[in-house]
Amino acid sequence: MSKLNVVPMDNKACGYYRLIYPAQAMYNFTKVNIAPPLLFSGNKGEWVWTARVCNADVFKVLIDFKKKNNVKIAIDYDDCLWEEPPAYNRCNIKWKENNADMREYLGQLADLVIVSTEELAESIHRLGYQNTVVMKNCLEYNRWRFDYYEPSANLSFFYAGSATHWSPDSYGDFTPEFVKYLRNKEVNVLGTNPTFLPSSRNVCKWVDINAYPTVFAKHALKSKFVIAPLQDNLFNRCKSDLKYLECAAVGRVCLCSDVGEYMKVAHPMQIIPNDADFNKIEYIVNRATKHYKEIIQHQYKVLNERWLRPEPYIELFSK
């Protein structure tokens, strides 16, 4: 394949999972250069792989860069940033402007669009751009291979999620019935404590992405379940099942909603439907407790198909 320049837009989690880790996996097999965030350079015949280009100003700069350097451009998207997000999302996504800018410029810049889910691909198609490929999120074996430890007998829950999934005046991705169920339970939180769970305990603030697997495992292993609630909306249906993979890696059952990618991979006994009432949630959690090892084995099966490999990326950029 031609030399590949990987240019993440940031050095946060999405930049690593989607670009940097795959590039590192390819490094020993082909010519890959990983640039610092936003540092573009190129020679004739190269691919440049970047992410989350949504704004007209950035599009124009990169279109000029593409013409001057005669390169092919691949753009990665792992979140829907161009259709209306739920009201509780506080990322200040300028989705209307992004939608208009992407309709005008995406086809001029991108030779290929890479997305993390089928739903994202369909959303890109609605913008009028068709050349998409789905590359699902995967975990790197060396970072995420943890030995299994028996969970505590105590009923406890672990939540790793940012405040973009809820707001002070809204439960966000948590349903009112799920909040009601969790209020008197032991809930340990990595990140920001949901304000509507006064009994929740913050065990750690957010950490650097390279430390995240160990920190996630350290705190998740102390609980019986990891919770990954998602409301049924377009933004969430476009999201990947990354939290599910992380739970599988550390050997804790993920209690997830019947939304998007989670619905496709999860064991039926670990899904809490969004319309479940208090009694049904309690029944599902009790049932998951009884069938814990069966669900764990299902999660491991899913995970073993999703370890990061260089071959799909090498093939992709060799075309």
Residue 69 burial (CB < 10 Å; 0-12/13-18/19+)? Answer: middle
Name residue 36's amino acid. P
Cβ(15)–Cβ(51) below 8 Å: yes
**For residue 18, what are its two tokens?**
């989607």
* pLDDT at 250 > cutoff 90: yes
pLDDT digits (tens, 9 = 90+) for 143-177: 999 999 999 889 999 999 887 888 877 899 999 99
| pTM for the whole structure | 0.94
pLDDT at 285 over 90: yes
- Per-residue pLDDT band for 247 (boundaries 50, 70, 90) equals very high
Residue 192: predicted pLDDT: 86
Domains of the chain: 4-135 (3.40.50.2000), 141-304 (3.40.50.2000)
Q: Is the Cβ–Cβ distance between 23 and 32 less than 8 Å?
A: yes
How many residues would you count in the chain? 319
φ, ψ of residue 121 to 5 degrees: the values are -60, -45
pLDDT tens, residue by residue, 191-245: 888 989 988 998 988 888 999 999 999 999 999 999 999 999 999 999 999 999 9
How does pLDDT run across 290-312, given as a tens digit for each residue?
999 999 999 999 999 999 999 99
In degrees and rounded to multiples of 5, residue 119 shows phi and psi of -65, -40
Per-residue model confidence as pLDDT tens digits over 76-121: 999 999 999 999 988 889 999 999 999 999 999 999 999 999 999 9
Q: What is the mean pLDDT of the chain?
A: 93
